[in-house]
Structure 1
Amino acid sequence: MTAKHLAEVVQKVAAASARAGRSAPARLVAVGKTKPVEQLRECYDAGHRVFGENYAQERSIHWSPYDRELTEKSPAMPPDTRWHFIGHLQSNKAKTLVKAVPGLAMIETVDSVKLANRLADACVEAGRVEPLGVMVNTSGEASKHGVEPNAATALASHIVNECAPALAFRGLMTIGMPDYTSRPENFELLAKARSTRDDVCDALGLDATEVELSMGMSGDYESAISMGSDNVRVGSTIFGARDYGEKK
């Protein structure tokens, strides 16, 4: 059933992208949080290559037997799997994550100069040839570990000017409403993210077409694409409800 659900989401992403006038579909990150590798492999075998995970080594306060961190899932998947890290990353985990996951393509949640520096140092130490893509988390709430939109330009500037070529600034990420629905308030958050992207590009002299927006999850990814999202993060719609069984 996982492959069937994936195909349905891929079709909806393509249709939403076409309605938005995109020349190519937005990138779909299949988020396998709390799900076993077998389900991710079913998506891989169906042709999907981009997966997202929320945890590096730290666990959530809840637990399930499938809630394995990215450093454990990565070796169990084929080497051409492309991983996006989409959870809060503590700076002291940067080295472990970069070293353990050769297929790490993107950190979507950079929220400090300290973390950017640690990631850049880790990439150099690991001998990465390909720059590690990073996005600035502009969610702007402590609970979401993001920076305020007005601080995004300074952090993006640091990444571009001080962390290259180890890191490559790819864009901005935002997290919508807690229930992930397409309520008017969520459209406001998406619109703010798009405005922040324009501000960053103007300040740094970047072409807006080269700076991505990552916004939209299971409940609002089609709406997010209509608002300009280039990258959507879909989990439960593909893999089913997450398992948050209490730890015994």
Structure 2
Amino acid sequence: TKPVGVIRGVYDAGHRCFGENYVQELIDKAPQLPEDIEWHFIGNLQSNKAKALLAGVPSLDMVESVDDEKIANRLDRVVADLGRRPLKVLVQVNTSGEESKFGVDPSGCVGLAKHVKLSCPNLVFSGLMTIGMLDYSSTPENFKALTSCRKEVCDELGIPEEQCELSMGMSADFEQAVRNTLQEDNSEMYKLNDNA
């Protein structure tokens, strides 16, 4: 959640992928910035705001917070209704077990990923997302749990792990996310959740 001026400065330095937590902020910011920005929505998305988000941000590239079949189905319908290109999505997994966090329980991530891949033709299942614990005490375990979920999902869906992105880490714990990802699978397929 950074001001337009800050985003423009980072854009001018060559960055093209930006994330936003709030639907209305993204709808307000996107038209003020270059059209070639790839926007990622990383906040909780209520199904009644899906149409406004997709219609208001034509350059929305990904929703990283699909946490149940209802929002997956709604996004799928809205993409079809608007005639948009297929939308990339990440399944959000609550690896910390905190009730205040959104995301499917790790035991349900395979089922939700399978639903997106097989039942939502206008969505592209692209991977998994998690947010570590607020106090960062269990953050490494949260990231390891997401890596385990990826293995299960990829085995079930028959896709290579390198084609299943992991989005984990906020401003204060992104270094742990990078370290975990590189240690676990020696991959360069990682993302850093941040608001700019």
Q: Same fold (TM over 0.5)?
A: yes
Q: Does 1:222 align with 2:175?
A: yes
Report the residue type matching 1:230 in the other structure.
Y
Report the residue type matching 1:213 in the other structure.
L
Give distance in 2, aligned partners of 1:142 and 1:222. 25
**Percent of matched pairs sharing the same residue:** 49
RMSD: 1.4
Give distance in 2, aligned partners of 1:122 and 1:116. 10
Q: Which runs of 5+ in 2 are unaligned?
A: 182-188
Q: Does 1:37 align with 2:8?
A: no
Residue matched to 2:82: 126
Contact 1:136 1:152 in 2 (8 A): yes
Contact 1:141 1:148 in 2 (8 A): no
Match of 2:165 among 205, 212, 219: 212
Match of 1:46 among 13, 22, 25: 13
Give distance in 2, aligned partners of 1:72 and 1:234. 18
Higher RCO (CA-CA < 8 Å; seq separation 6+): 1
Q: Does 1:232 align with 2:188?
A: no
5 Å-filtered alignment, 1:1-248, equals 33=1, 35-57=2-24, 69-129=25-85, 131-139=86-94, 140-164=97-121, 166-179=122-135, 181=136, 183=137, 185-228=138-181, 230-235=190-195
Q: What does the per-residue CA deviation read over 1:120-147, in whole Å, with 9 as the maximum and x for residues that have no partner?
A: 1111111112x21100110254311111
Contact 1:215 1:231 in 2 (8 A): yes
Give distance in 2, aligned partners of 1:79 and 1:214. 23
Runs of 4+ in 1 over 4 A off after TM superposition: none
Give distance in 1, aligned partners of 2:51 and 2:141. 36
Residue matched to 2:184: none
Q: What does the per-residue CA deviation read over 1:50-101, in whole Å, with 9 as the maximum and x for residues that have no partner?
A: 11110103xxxxxxxxxxx111111111100110101000011111101110
Give me the TM-score of the superposition, normalised by structure 2: 0.91
Give me the TM-score of the superposition, normalised by structure 1: 0.72
Contact 1:141 1:147 in 2 (8 A): no
Give distance in 2, aligned partners of 1:76 and 1:125. 25
Q: Which runs of 5+ in 1 are unaligned?
A: 1-32, 58-68, 240-248
Give distance in 1, aligned partners of 2:194 and 2:23. 18
